[in-house]
Amino acid sequence: MRRKLVVGNWKMNGNRATNAELLAGLKAAGPWVAEVAVCVPSPYLGDVALSLQGEAIGWGAQDVSAYESGAYTGEVSAAMLAEFGCRYALAGHSERRAYHAESDQAVADKAKAALAHRITPIVCVGETLAEREADQTAAVVKRQLSAVIHTLGHCISQIVVAYEPVWAIGTGKTASPEQAQAVHALLRAQLKAATEHADTMKILYGGSVKADNAATLFAQPDIDGGLIGGASLKAGDFAAICRAAG
Ligand code: PGA
């Protein structure tokens, strides 16, 4: 059986004081049956690593450079993230794809760079509302995942996939459990064609997951946990979602 994974994506929120309060709340609320992690803004990785040392909560970054080192102003390398004990790095979140024009190949290269430093990339895929309405959902997520499969080869089994329909992110509109499961099943089938370990891989759902809809989403056979944005900013809300995955 796959152990569920719940990852908080703080996005560009918080400060040192609110982060400390949030982490204290989470530490008090755990432990959970599910694995739990938070992906935080890079400047706070040092604080978060110190605070979560020895705790059952992992941490990670929201992006990672595809490059090893050098003249890439503003980028943060996988080696740097590894020095701060990151277990995870998001790759290809839809906000990065949309606002930073990250291509499918760029996302695949980021995933590869993370793995080279033993950081598990959480590769995000998902369709826009226009794509869903044009019946392009399957084609879009397949294309996005395919770039990663081709770039990673047999190492594909080491990633986590997150299905996040763009129209559900931060909008309060969640995919129904059936809609989400249908896409997760497609992604699992695609992974099965690429690796014999697809049944052990985690595919998370993200997009307006809240305490009151988490349990039914997580009950779907191919939904192995969640990537949580807004609801990961309050300890009580996030803890309830982690409990729903137990
Ligand atoms: P949301 O964000 O939970 O606020 O919809 C999810 C995400 O963007 O990862």
- 35: its two tokens: 């694995």
Q: What is the pLDDT of residue 172?
A: 86
Nearest atom in ligand 1 to the alpha carbon of residue 231 is 3
94 CA → ligand 1 middle, Å? 10
Is the pTM above the cut of 0.85? yes
Which atom of ligand 1 is nearest to 210's Cα?
Answer: 3
Q: Please report which helix (H) or strand (E) contains residue 206, including its range.
A: strand 203-206
> Position 197: which residue type?
H
Reported confidence tier of residue 145, pLDDT bands at 50, 70, 90: very high
HSE-up of 198 (CA within 13 Å, CB side)? 15
Q: What is the mean pLDDT of residues 98-121?
A: 98
Query: Residue 216: is it exposed, middle or buried by C-beta count within 10 angstroms (0-12/13-18/19+)?
Result: middle
Catalytic residue among 93, 102, 131, 184: 93
Ligand 1 atom having least distance to the Cα of 206: 6
Across-strand partners of 57? 36
Cross-strand bridge partners of residue 91 = 123
Q: Give pLDDT tens digits for 119-140.
A: 999 999 999 999 999 999 999 9
Tell me which of 209, 212, 234, 241 to substitute to probe ligand 1's pocket, judged by most ligand atoms within 8 Å of the beta carbon. 209
The question of whether 164 is a catalytic residue gets the answer yes
- The CATH code of domain 5-244 reads 3.20.20.70
Mutation choice for ligand 1 from 39, 166, 169, CB with most ligand atoms inside 8 A: 169
Instruction: State how far the Cα of 188 lies from the Cα of 208, in Å rounded to an integer.
Output: 22
Contacts of 46 (CB under 8 A, 6+ apart): 84
Tell me if 111 sits within 8 A of 145, measured CB to CB. Answer: no
